[in-house]
């Protein structure tokens, strides 16, 4: 049976010193934001904030200086992410570029692509979205039907992407498309870097339960991008997208999306209410355990390992924790408590509406459990 233990990882004094620096910066920038805005955190879109973070050197932290990065360590980056999430900083504009599009470009991009895009991403000025899911291809991404054919002046794209977060605000999409209809379904895929201003692209917002329009349907009708838009190797899109998914699933945002509610509950709790004290104590222990696991995954990534399966475990367990918090807030605190603590009420209401999506985005709970079971030899 595969060993799925996660080695313990400790942060260095340099990381802890950086933490204090980031905390001070965030106190100035974020502490006065409304509670609901903080609860959106890594999905809240604020280009001004992203630019100020870029100026501090906290985007593209681990990338080479030649491409606008700062050559810091993976663990230093992890500390910055933790602090951003704990403060509820509005990171949605740059989050995808920093987490996965930039690293993907570093690994597979041509020198010209890297030089053109990475420095502006690191400055917090250039934003990306993820073009994987389609109307009939979600969990089963390889079922996708969006086609790109080689034509004289580049690639002509036809098809529809779905649930594309921030497509209406991003500059580029990295899309997985079918470039060889005759090949086996995993072999005929490639990734394209698509400038979203290209004629032939229609972006339609989709409203979620909370009334927000963060994700979209993106329709391509004979949209032509240049030959140089190919990212990596033609036909190797499946391998590339698998590497991208590992980046998408391994960060601390996968267990900290409801943290603002935990903090609001701690603020509102009474030390004389045994049920509140016990429940919050348990939650703290669970969070501490998940944090140790998540940090362990960060340590494995820092050593160049590929912890795909343990990252799936942390995401699956993290989503369970994130999703049970809204119900707990309703069970542990009565109407009078909610009235006396408007932040608690506001964040609990918001997370009640959006938390169901946490175990869908980035791979569903069932699919992650399938991956884990396969690795353990259980299916």
Helices (H), the chain: 13-30, 35-40, 47-55, 74-87, 92-96, 102-108, 111-122, 237-249, 253-256, 259-268, 274-302, 308-332, 335-340, 342-354, 365-375
Q: Is 129 in the site for ligand FAD (CB under 6 A)?
A: yes
Q: Is 230 in the site for ligand FAD (CB under 6 A)?
A: no
Interface with ligand FAD in residues 268-307 (CB under 6 A):
none
The conformation of residue 101, written as its DSSP 8-state character, comes to I
Interface with ligand FAD in residues 351-370 (CB under 6 A):
357, 360-361, 363-364, 366-367, 370
- The interface region with ligand FAD, picked from 61-69, 124-132, 149-157, 253-261 by CB under 6 A, is 124-132
Q: Is 179 in the site for ligand FAD (CB under 6 A)?
A: no
First to last CA, the chain: 12
- Name which of 123 and 133 has its Cβ closer to ligand FAD: 133
Which residue matches tokens 């010209």? 112
**Rg of the chain, C-alpha, whole Å:** 21
Query: What would the x/- binding string for ligand FAD be over residues 86 to 115, using CB under 6 A?
Result: ------------------------------
Which residue matches tokens 């979600």? 138
Least separation in angstroms between residue 51's CB and ligand FAD is 22
Residue count of the chain: 379
Taking CB under 6 A as the criterion, the residue among 138, 142, 235, 371 binding ligand FAD is: 138
C-beta separation of 69 from 62 below 8 A:
yes
* 137's tokens: 């291809």
Least separation in angstroms between residue 198's CB and ligand FAD is 18
C-beta separation of 233 from 192 below 8 A:
no
Least separation in angstroms between residue 241's CB and ligand FAD is 10
Least separation in angstroms between residue 363's CB and ligand FAD is 6
Q: Is 215 in the site for ligand FAD (CB under 6 A)?
A: yes
In the complex, the residues that contact ligand FAD under the rule CB under 6 A are 129-133, 138-139, 163-165, 215, 357, 360-361, 363-364, 366-367, 370
């Amino acid at each position: 049976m595969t060993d799925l233990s996660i080695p313990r990882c400790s942060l260095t004094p340099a990381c802890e010193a950086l933490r204090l620096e980031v905390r001070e910066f965030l106190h100035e920038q974020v502490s006065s934001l409304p509670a609901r805005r903080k609860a959106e955190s890594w999905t809240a879109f604020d280009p001004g904030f992203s630019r100020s973070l870029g100026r501090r050197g906290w985007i593209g932290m681990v990338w080479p200086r030649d491409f606008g990065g700062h050559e810091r360590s993976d663990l230093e980056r992890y500390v910055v992410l933790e602090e951003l999430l704990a403060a509820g900083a509005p990171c949605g504009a740059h989050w995808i570029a920093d987490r996965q599009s930039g690293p993907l470009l570093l690994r597979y991009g041509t020198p010209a692509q890297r030089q053109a895009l990475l420095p502006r991403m690191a400055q917090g000025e250039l934003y990306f979205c993820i073009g994987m899911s389609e109307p009939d291809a979600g969990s089963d991404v390889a079922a996708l039907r969006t086609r790109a054919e080689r034509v004289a002046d580049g690639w002509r794209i036809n098809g529809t992407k779905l649930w594309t977060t921030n497509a209406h605000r991003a500059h580029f999409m990295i899309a997985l498309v079918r470039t060889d209809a005759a090949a086996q379904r995993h072999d005929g895929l490639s990734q394209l870097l698509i400038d979203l201003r290209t004629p032939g692209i229609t972006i339609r917002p989709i409203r979620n339960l909370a009334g927000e329009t963060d994700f979209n349907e993106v329709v391509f009708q004979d949209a032509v991008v240049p030959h140089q838009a190919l990212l990596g190797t033609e036909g190797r899109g499946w391998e590339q997208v698998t590497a991208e998914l590992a980046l998408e699933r391994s960060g601390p945002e996968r267990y900290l999306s409801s943290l603002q509610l935990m903090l609001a509950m701690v603020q509102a709790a009474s030390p004389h209410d045994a049920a509140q004290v016990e429940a919050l104590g348990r939650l703290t222990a669970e969070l501490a355990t998940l944090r140790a696991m998540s940090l362990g995954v960060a340590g494995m990534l820092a050593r160049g390992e590929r912890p795909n399966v343990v990252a799936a475990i942390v995401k699956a367990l993290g989503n369970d924790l994130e999703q049970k918090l809204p119900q707990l807030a309703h069970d542990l605190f009565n109407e009078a408590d909610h009235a006396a603590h408007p932040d608690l009420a506001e964040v609990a209401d918001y997370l009640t509406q959006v938390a169901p999506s946490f175990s869908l985005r980035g791979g569903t709970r069932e699919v992650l459990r399938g991956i884990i079971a396969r690795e353990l030899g259980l299916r």
